[in-house]
Structure formats: C-alpha cells, structure tokens
Chains A and B, each alone.
Chain A
Amino acid sequence: MLKLLKRLWVIMKSPSTASFGFILVIGFLGGIIFWGGFNTGMEATNTEAFCSGCHAPIVKEIRETIHYSNRSGVRAICSDCHVPHKWTDKIVRKVQASKELFAFAIGTIDTDEKFKARRAHLANREWQRMKENNSQECRNCHQFEYMDFSEQGKRSVSQHSTALASGDKTCVDCHKGIAHQLPDMKGIEGWQ
C-alpha cells in the first residue's frame, strides 16, 4: 500500500512529456466538468423533491398558503426561502446543513411526535436566521423599494410605511407562518 502511494507520488511529481497547451486544455475542460457537476449536484439538493425526501409532511403544508396557490400562479419552493441565493451565503448554509444530515441519520425528527415536540425549536431557529439577514429571502422577491402603498390594504400600509420603512422591523417579525403551520406561539412577540 505504501509502495503504491510512493509510486503515485513519483508520477505526480515528475514532469510530463505532454505539451503545456495540452495540459492547459485538459485542465480547463476538467474544470468545467468538475465545476458544472458540483453546481448541478448542489442545485439538485435545492429541489422540492429532495426536500420532501425527509420533510414530506412539512413540504405539503405550503399548499394551502399564498406561496403555493394564488391568483397569478407564481409560487415559491422550499429553497427560495430556506436557502440564500447569494453563492457564498448558499455555500455557508449548505455546509451547515451537513449537521442536518447527521440529525437525519440519528432520526431526530423521524416520527410525527418527535417533529411536533421539536417544531417550535426549528421554527425559532429559522426566524432568527431571517431576522439576522434582514429577511433577505423574502426580499429576493418582495422588494420594499417597489411597494406601491396605494395598492396595499390599509392595515398593510400602516405597518409597512412605518416599522418596515424605518428598518425597525423586518418581514419575518410579523409574517410568520406564511408558508407553514405555526408551532406553539406562546411567548413569541406579537402573538397573544
């Protein structure tokens, strides 16, 4: 085994007889294939089908909400809200998600009861994440600058033109449970 490694090291170290141009082209093509494959693989973990693999009942909850069925037929899928769109942030979140793979392996929420018991914790973590990045995932579609207050309801205007405009509050402070069932809301600001 050690001999094999040593031979491999010698091969890797010794200069090859291939032309510089050939190595460059091979490297370039290899880079495209590797990078494309990596990104495609990562995007595959952003599909609804992938999420449903473990979170099927939660994925279904969106169907009654405005983010699934609405008058204009635009909809959001899990990753639109739960995965950052900016590449660097996305990688960070994906690395964090490796912890969730471990939770999947040991079955942290693999029964309905376990999930219900943990739901408030999970929701709180996501709300906290959204609060910290100023609800960036909401704002990827809903941009404050283009909100027409004359088209909004009276109740919406009174909140958006004050607390949201001043940066006092962020979207998720009020808009909780807009795509899911809510956990026990006792002690959450603005609830009960």
Chain B
Amino acid sequence: MKINKIIVAAALLGCTSSPALSDYPERPIELTIPAGAGGGTDTSARKLALLLEEKLGTSIAVLNVGGGGGSVGASQFMQAKPDGYALFATWNSPLTTVPQVQNVAYTLDSFTPIASTSETAYTLCVHPEFPAETGEEFLAELAANPDKYTYGNDGIGGTMQLAAERIFQARDIKAVAIPFGGAGETLQNFLGKHVDIYGGSISPVLPYVEEKQAKCLVVTSAADVPALPQAAGLESLGLGDKETLLWRAILGPKGLDQAIVDKLAAVIDEAVNDPSYVEFLASKGEVPNVVKGEALGERLREEFDALAVVSKNLGLAK
C-alpha cells in the first residue's frame, strides 16, 4: 500500500517534471511579439519562427501585441506560465529603455533570458548638402550650432533617441529631437526635408544612401558598418564606450526550467546561423549575434544601467 503510494507519487512527480523536459516540446508554442505585424521585429521573429518550427518539430503561433513601445506586450507576456510553451521575441528597447520613462509592471527579473538572435547599429544621416563629410565634421557642426538642427527618431525616450543622446552628451551637443511613430515615418520626414537628420535603423535608409539622397555619417556601434562606408563607428570617434545597438532576443517568463532554456538556446543558435537566416539578416543590415542564458541577463542589466544614466541626464527618467 505504502509502496504503491510512493510509486504513484513518483509517477505523478515524473509526469510533471522529467518527461516533460525530454519530450519538450510536445504541443504548439505561442510566440508573443510586442510590436505590430509588419515591422522589423515582427519580420525577423516570424522568419526565425519558421526555422525553429522545423528544428523543434512543433508549430509556433505568433501573437502580435503592439503598443506602448513594446511595454504592452511585455506586461501581457510576463503573466504567462513558465512551461516553455510561451516565448517572447522582442528587441531590447521594451526591456532596457521603456522602463526608464514609463511606469511598467515588469522588471528584468520578470523574464528568463534564453538567447539573443541578431543586432544592428542605429545611424545618423543628413542630406547631401549638409556641411560635413565625416563623422567628426558632423559632430563638430552640431556642437558649433546648438539647437539649430532637428533629428527625427523612433519615439521619445526610445532606444534610438538615447543612443543619439549618449553621443551628444559626451560631445556637449544640443539638437532638437522630433519623435515620430517609427523609422518609416522618420524617413519620410527626412526625405521631405522636414527634419535635418535621420535617426533610426539602417535598412530603411540604405537605398537612399546608394541613390546619394542621404549620407550617413555616424553609426551607434563601436565598429564601422560595412554597408555604410562613409559612417564612422564610435570607436574611431573616441566614443567606443557609448555604443548602443538595436538587438533582438527570445525570452521566457520568470522561472523557466534551465533544461528548457538550454535546449531552446541551442536550437535558436542553430537557426540563427542557418545560411538562409544569415542572408535574410544581411539584407536588413543585421548580423547574427547569439548570447545565451545568464550572459544575456548580464548584457540586459549592463545596458539598463547605462541607459538609466542617459535618460536621467535628459530629464526623461520617470
């Protein structure tokens, strides 16, 4: 009798833990994207989901929850069950930038970092007639004319604005930030000459650089970006420690089992480095970048702390 009970108990325990892991995943996974359909994060995540479906042998249902710069989707996702069947594909801003300016219900501890997938720099571009040809000249022109130039960005307190302001603060530059709804809107206003400087991700502006309607003079990564030969990386401007990137990652809810994290991280690593995905990333000016588990958590914390300083200096912090 007693032994029976133990066996039953053991069997029950077994049901809830170990077989679940060895069989994982045994049903469809729901992938929450904290942005509307059709944007950069959405496209990257959907393309990656196709590869993950193949490698995991299960289907992945994508749920777009836009709004609040990603905080709406993140708040909704943090309540998901940590069973490995709810995953979160996001870019860095909802986790490291948005909490600086908004009162959000989540912290970095509300999530289990699994793996980052890709990254790209932001860029600052001007019209061809702008009186500067290099990154150094560009910053000098801005520094010499405080509040003369306007720069469009992806939204107030967004990562793009903070990335630019980190550089501007280091060089004592004052430029007028004009927040738009996204890189597309910024680009439209830049091409129509309603703002002087385009601030945003590289891929939308790239065709206009090739057509010589825009010259990109600064990228927010430490290293130069091959697609934008005229743009200076921050290292060459002596601002290497001010690097701010746009990067994407997949996370789980808080308390996700380490075995599932490891399994998913390994599969994501494989999928991201699949030649078809690398090629897709390249067409958007992104490169694969896989940082797994605890190391990813560390990266998030460091970025959070650095951006906290910038937003405080800007008077944006809540």
Query: Is B a genuine binding partner of A?
Result: no
Contact surface of B with A, Cβ cutoff 8 Å: none
